[in-house]
Amino acid sequence: MIIREKRLRLDFITKTAHEIIPLLEKRAISSYQLIFDYFQKIEKIQPLLNAYISLFKEEALTAAKKSDDKRANQGRGPRLSGLPISIKDNICVQGGKTTCASRMLENFTSPYHATVVQKILNEEMVILGKTNMDEFAMGSSNETSFFGPVRNPNHLDYIPGGSSGGSAASVASHAALWALGSDTGGSIRQPAACCGVVGLKPTYGLVSRFGLVAFASSLDQIGPITKDVEDCALLLNIIAGHDPRDSTSVSQKIPDYTRFLRQNVKGLKVGLPKEYFSGGIHPEVAQAIDQVIQNLRKEGLLIKEISLPHTEYAVPTYYIISSAEASSNLARYDGVKYGYRAKGFESIGDMFKKSRSEGFGAEVKRRIMLGTYVLSAGYYDAFYIKALKVRTLIKNDFDRAWQEVDVILCPTMPTTAFRIGEKVNDPYQMYLSDIFTISVNLAGIPALCLPCGQNSQKHPIGLQLMAAPFREDLLFSLGYFIEQNIVR
């Protein structure tokens, strides 16, 4: 028996959650073995990828043993009991550090669990650790972390995408079964595309933000990063739902999202926004997306060109609104109550200045200054109020689109992953990486990213599906169909 386990255990960490669940239920493997193997993998790849900021090895192995004991004594517990997960380091885990990958919070220990963390603990899942990210979730490449950049598991000299790069890299490298990330302008979907995994940005208000350290409160949303679409539906089942502690949480009946995976999608109307296909997409990305479109047409889906006319204003609108909200949210980090405090200051004003100057990185300071500027007297109406009005126009574009189509399809990014350092000194080019993802956050709609092939250098290419608010069912139906029938 021991020899058999040693032979099989090498394969366990490469499996999906829905493949491991029956193995745990039949006790073909123990949760303790599984968690132990994941930590062996983490210890091997962490020096290469830098995917984790902190690890909870002792606590995880203890929790895994409890899960095994309960399964042995009671037959079964929660279905996901004993399954390992990694958590982005801007989501609070009680007793663990929540650094947001910033010097400002490098020693901050959370006194409470985020709602999503409590929900996964209620399912007796096992937290492996907290994953690396762009500082305060501000970035598209995971290069702004105080703890150093995360590297792409497929090509170590390339970015994993941001800001949830550590979460995506941990899943893609089999250093986590699945992960939680957060998405403010594409921060789940871009890393999923770069690393070749599945990522979902849920409808705004579907998943509680309580315990998520705020970047831009009207845009932030927690979501799953997984190995395939079925795992994504499984994890959303757990984390979705109303939370009275989050004023933006919507009271919405939560279905079993896995029920939608095998639904017939023939006759589904799929929209292609002409503004997203008008240029700027790398030819290999365009070719991969076009191949999916042609295959869907052959399968009986109705493909239609649509227009989202205010797309060109999405990038400036997003960076004005998100930076304004960041300026307000990050004002609390002043070195007084918690967080980094500079030494050698002469007055309280000097302490504020030095603590914030030393505690924040360059990208965070850039966005704070931009946000403070657009909120200041004389510029508030010219920039911030105008951006809010354009945001409404962008949302109206989508509302009209849902009258014509069921789902919108486009690339997740105009390119595949780029080299580390290639764009870090050119914020404008870096921000353009968000061009296909940020409108989703501005409109509050859900979007799913899944792999749809590779380029000639074997970099993953990401496909994005969008749907109307709370129509995650459509995303899972079409996403699963594409995964199983088109791009396998």
Active site residues: 88, 163, 187
In 3D, which of 257, 197, 253, 188 has the Cα closest to residue 220? Answer: 188
DSSP string, 438-488: HHHHHHT--EEEEEEEE-TT--EEEEEEEESTT-HHHHHHHHHHIIIII--
Alpha helices, DSSP H, located in 266-310: 283-298
Q: Which residues pair with 158 in a beta bridge?
A: 419
Separation CA 138–CA 431 (nearest Å): 10
CB neighbour list of residue 248: distance below 8 Å, 6 or more residues apart: 204, 205, 209, 217, 218
Sheet containing 126-131: give its strands across: 52-55, 126-131, 84-88, 178-183, 221-226, 198-201, 447-454, 460-467, 407-411, 269-273, 302-306
Separation CA 385–CA 167 (nearest Å): 34
Give me the count of residues in the chain.
488
User: What burial class does residue 348 get, using C-beta atoms within 10 Å of its C-beta: 0-12 exposed, 13-18 middle, 19+ buried?
Assistant: exposed
